[in-house]
Every structure is written in C-alpha cells, then in structure tokens.
Amino acid sequence: MASSNHPVDNVLYLADSYKVTHHKQYPAGTTSVYSYFESRGGKFNETVFFGLQYILKKWMVGSVVTKEMVEEAKEFYHHHFRNPRFFNEDGWNYIVEKHNGHLPLRIKAVPEGTVVPVKNVLFTVENTDPAVPWLTNWFETLLVQVWYPMTVCTFSRMQKIMIGRYLYRTSGSINGLSYKLHDFGYRGSTSVESAAIGGAAHLVNFAGTDTIAALQLCKKYYDNPMAGLSVPAAEHSTISAWTKTGEADAFRNMMDQFPTGIVSVVSDTYDIYNAVSNIWGDELRQMVMDREEYGSLVIRPDSGDPVTVVLKILELLYERYPCLTNSEGYRMLPNYLKILQGDGISYESLLTILAAVEEAGWSTDNLVFGSGGALLQKLDRDTQKCVFKCSSVTVNGEARDVWKEPLTDSGKTSKKGRLTLERDEAGQLVTIEEGRGDPEKDLLVPVFENGRLLVDYTLKEIRTLAGADLFPKKNPK
C-alpha cells in the first residue's frame, strides 16, 4: 500500500487524466495490451536499469484498490471531467471484486543494475486478465518515472568510470574510488522523495553521501541497512559564526572537536588562498601534521573556477607540506591532506578538473568531489529519451503487432510485437521483435504478477551488476 502521508494515496490517481478515458478507446474485442519501456538514446549510449523495484513495492504490490477508493474516484473524476461517465467504475470494481484489489498485470524487466545499450527493451507490461486490457497503459505514467533513478544512476556511473580512469593512471590503483564523488544534492532536489530516489541511484555506484533520505530508501526497499557513509564537516555558518578574525579559531575548533578520523573544513568563507597559505599552511600547520596518525584534514573550497582554485590550492600546499611523487610519477600531498571540490561539479566540469590536475603533475588521489544539482537534478526524461509504447494488442483473439512510425520523426518509431532481450553471438544485448525471440534466452525476468513481487533485488546485487567490468583488468601477466 502507498504510504498514507503521500498527497496521492492510491493508484486511481496515479495516471494522467486522459488515461481515465482510454478504456473507451481500444477496439471492441480487445483482450490484451502489451507495452514496453526503453531509452531511445541520449547523452550516453548505454544506461543502468535501476529503480523499478521501489515503484512496484511502494505503489503496486498487494491489494491496492478498494471499493471505497473506486467510489471516491468516481466522484472525483465526475468533477474533473464534468461528466459522470468517463471514469471506468465497472473496470475498477471488477479488479476489486475479481482480484481482491490485486493488479492483474505481468511485468518482466531486465535485472536492476544491468547496463544495457540504448534502444533495447528494459521492461514489458501486459494485462493478465482479458477483461481489463486498459490496465496496462494506466501504469505508464507511474512506471515511466523510472527514467529518473535510471538516468541518475547512469550519469553517476559514467562519472565513476571517468574518475576511475584518472585515478588509476595517476596513482596506479582505484582504491577509494567509491568515495570520490559525494552526494551533496538533498537540498537541490524537488522533494524528499526524489532526493531519496536519486540519492539511492547514486549509491549504486558510490558509497559517499550526505543525502540521508537515500539511505532510508536503500534500507526499506533494497535491503541495505547502511548504503553510504559520511564524515564530520563544516558549513559556512559554523565558520562565519567565529567572525573573520576568528577563522583560524574556527578551523582549530574543528580539529579539537574531531581529533580523529576525517574532518572536512569549508575554507573559502573569506579568502581561500589566505586560509590555505596562512592558516592551514602556517598557523595550524603543526596541528594538521600532528594529526597524521589519527586522521586527515579535507580542505573544501566552495567558490571560484574549480580548475583555477584547485590548482592554486595544490601549489600553495606543495610549498608548505611534505609532498612526494608516487609510483606513477605524480605528486601527492601527505596522506593526511585532501581537497574536496564540491562546487560546480558535473560530468562535463569533472573532466576539465581531472585533466588539468593530471596535466599539472598531480595525482587524482589528492582530490574528492561533491556534486548536488548536477547529480540529482540536471536531468530530465528526455536526457535518455525514456519512453513507454504499446507494441502488441490482441483483438477478437488475434494478436497484432502495433507500432508508431511518425512521418515527422522517424526517431520516434517504436518496436513491434512481443519482445525479448537476448545476447547475440558477440555477447551484445539485443532486442528481438515481432515475437521472434526465444523465450528460453529472454533476459527479461518476471518481476511482478497479479499483485505479487516475484524478485526482490538487493543493493549489493545491483552494485555488482552495475560495477562489473568497469575497469577491465589488464590481462594477467
């Protein structure tokens, strides 16, 4: 059942208004509507499938329709359309009476965490009771919202691949990669729920987050009690409260309050270069060094052009701290010092920073990144062109392949007939259309049927799939 504290608390309000009238629009004798979901393409040519399980568990599993709901919705839609006859009262009452409120649908999906080239079927939906063919596409509205976790997960993973490449090349290992991109996006999300969903999608690839809501979602829906970690960190208020002349006292207090482990101190409240040179690099330098065996300091700039600022901080620290050259020939700050760039980070800006830092002879391992708006918000359904289309219907007992093929945009042509997702001889994922696939080879898994969840993926399993062959091991010597 949906959580009662949600503005919408039942499936009768989860569809676009026009869908309320669609049961009157299929041909007489229609007994089956079969639809599929795909990414038609976008910034990246492969996506990580993630987030369907949350939607199913939250909205569709169990007895989700009652007589009272139907009664209320009948009244509601009468007012919405100013007509008492558009809402499918009989259809929904049939589901209450015949199925005890369980949705007679079958959903088959590629396992969550699977990385799939675009233009491939990711899940299919069909009605299991011939009396309610209109039910399939009722759930388009809700199910297409999987575009969000899927797209966040995809962008997050692409950033992991990028950071991993630079980290490996400039340090000889990818140790610590899971903590190199921290989620700062809670406040910039459109709602607590979307922060939870998008933050969980990021946690498929990484283990550093400040988006607490995401941890709750992973715990409740993906069987992971603690999907991400964080550490003590300052914000501008906890520095500025000491006033400008007290900035060094504020910094000292951070190390006093958190004498062991990692502590992050935002240092650009007034003048980042003064803070790095004269406070971290001089007045508190001995204290920072004395922490060596207890913990590390993370210096966080939060303004200015990221490349310029990060490079300048590295140079200033190089002059004031014992740096070394690592096995790959890149400069490293002492292991108790890191720089966290959490401002202006996106897939595009990350690349410029990583490249500039390497170009200047520094290892990526000196850095940690934080991302908020770009990680959780700077995406929409069109970013990866996520769509849901009907590809087969059965009318008077005869199954027919159906599709759209707009003269005005061939890119919107949809797939035909019943679909399977299979691997070709080269091991590539491909979609077989028109019912010509081999059910034995179909990688789509039945995950939902008649109100029951058939598979319950854990975040651990999903992380394994999404992280598989991220960095193909060099063939063993």
Ligand X SMILES: O=C1OCCC/C1=C\Nc1ccccc1
Cα separation, 249 vs 147, in Å, equals 47
Question: Helix axis angle, 306-318 relative to 347-359, nearest 10°?
Answer: 30
**213-252: buried (b, 16+ CB within 10 Å) or exposed (e) per residue?**
bbbebbeebbebeebbebbebbeeebbeebeeeebbebbb
Cα separation, 255 vs 295, in Å, equals 10
231 binds ligand X (CB under 6 A): yes
Tokens representing 7 are 């503005």
Least separation in angstroms between CB 82 and ligand X: 47
Which is nearer to ligand X, 218 or 345 (by Cβ)?
345
Q: Among 173, 203, 183, which Cα is nearest to 364's?
A: 173
181 binds ligand X (CB under 6 A): no
139 binds ligand X (CB under 6 A): no
Q: Number of residues in contact with ligand X, rule: CB under 6 A?
A: 12
342 binds ligand X (CB under 6 A): yes
CA distances from 146 to 139, 140, 154, 184, 270 (A): 12, 10, 12, 22, 42
Tokens representing 281 are 């690099």
Q: Which stretch binds ligand X (CB under 6 A): 130-138, 228-236, 417-425, 438-446?
A: 228-236
Q: Which stretch binds ligand X (CB under 6 A): 70-78, 214-222, 229-237, 252-260?
A: 229-237
Least separation in angstroms between CB 115 and ligand X: 28
Q: Which stretch binds ligand X (CB under 6 A): 122-130, 168-176, 230-238, 429-437?
A: 230-238
Which is nearer to ligand X, 297 or 393 (by Cβ)?
297
182 binds ligand X (CB under 6 A): yes
Least separation in angstroms between CB 185 and ligand X: 8
CA distances from 33 to 14, 62, 390, 402 (A): 19, 22, 7, 10
298 binds ligand X (CB under 6 A): yes
180 binds ligand X (CB under 6 A): no
Least separation in angstroms between CB 309 and ligand X: 15
210 binds ligand X (CB under 6 A): yes
Write the interaction track for ligand X spanning residues 11-50; mark x where CB under 6 A is met and - where it is not. Answer: ----------------------------------------
Q: Among 418, 331, 411, 346, which Cα is nearest to 377's?
A: 346
268 binds ligand X (CB under 6 A): no
Q: Which stretch binds ligand X (CB under 6 A): 103-111, 145-153, 225-233, 421-429?
A: 225-233
Which is nearer to ligand X, 160 or 182 (by Cβ)?
182
Cα separation, 296 vs 263, in Å, equals 6
Residue closest to ligand X (Cβ): 264
233 binds ligand X (CB under 6 A): yes
Q: Which stretch binds ligand X (CB under 6 A): 57-65, 72-80, 166-174, 226-234?
A: 226-234
Cα separation, 437 vs 444, in Å, equals 11
437 binds ligand X (CB under 6 A): no
300 binds ligand X (CB under 6 A): yes
Strands (E), 86-241: 105-109, 115-117, 121-127, 181-183
Contact with ligand X (CB under 6 A) among 264, 364, 384, 394: 264
Least separation in angstroms between CB 254 and ligand X: 11
Cβ partners under 8 Å of residue 214, min gap 6: 183, 195, 196, 197, 198, 199, 200, 202, 203, 227, 228
Cβ partners under 8 Å of residue 27, min gap 6: 393, 395
255 binds ligand X (CB under 6 A): no
Lateral strand order in the sheet of 398-401: 398-401, 386-395, 30-39, 121-127, 105-109, 445-449, 452-453
- Which is it for strands 295-300 and 261-266: parallel, antiparallel or unpaired? parallel
284 binds ligand X (CB under 6 A): no
Which is nearer to ligand X, 165 or 378 (by Cβ)?
378
Q: Among 147, 163, 129, which Cα is nearest to 33's?
A: 129
Identify the three-state secondary structure at position 351: helix
Which is nearer to ligand X, 227 or 447 (by Cβ)?
227
Which is nearer to ligand X, 143 or 376 (by Cβ)?
376
Contact with ligand X (CB under 6 A) among 63, 93, 216, 230: 230
340 binds ligand X (CB under 6 A): yes
Least separation in angstroms between CB 54 and ligand X: 23
Which is nearer to ligand X, 238 or 277 (by Cβ)?
238
Least separation in angstroms between CB 146 and ligand X: 26
The DSSP code sequence of 276-317 is IIIIIIIITHHHHHHTTTTEEEEEE--SS-HHHHHHHHHHHH
Distance of CA 411 to the CA centre of its chain: 25
Q: Which residues form the interface with ligand X (CB under 6 A)?
A: 182, 184, 210, 230-231, 233, 264, 298, 300, 340, 342, 370
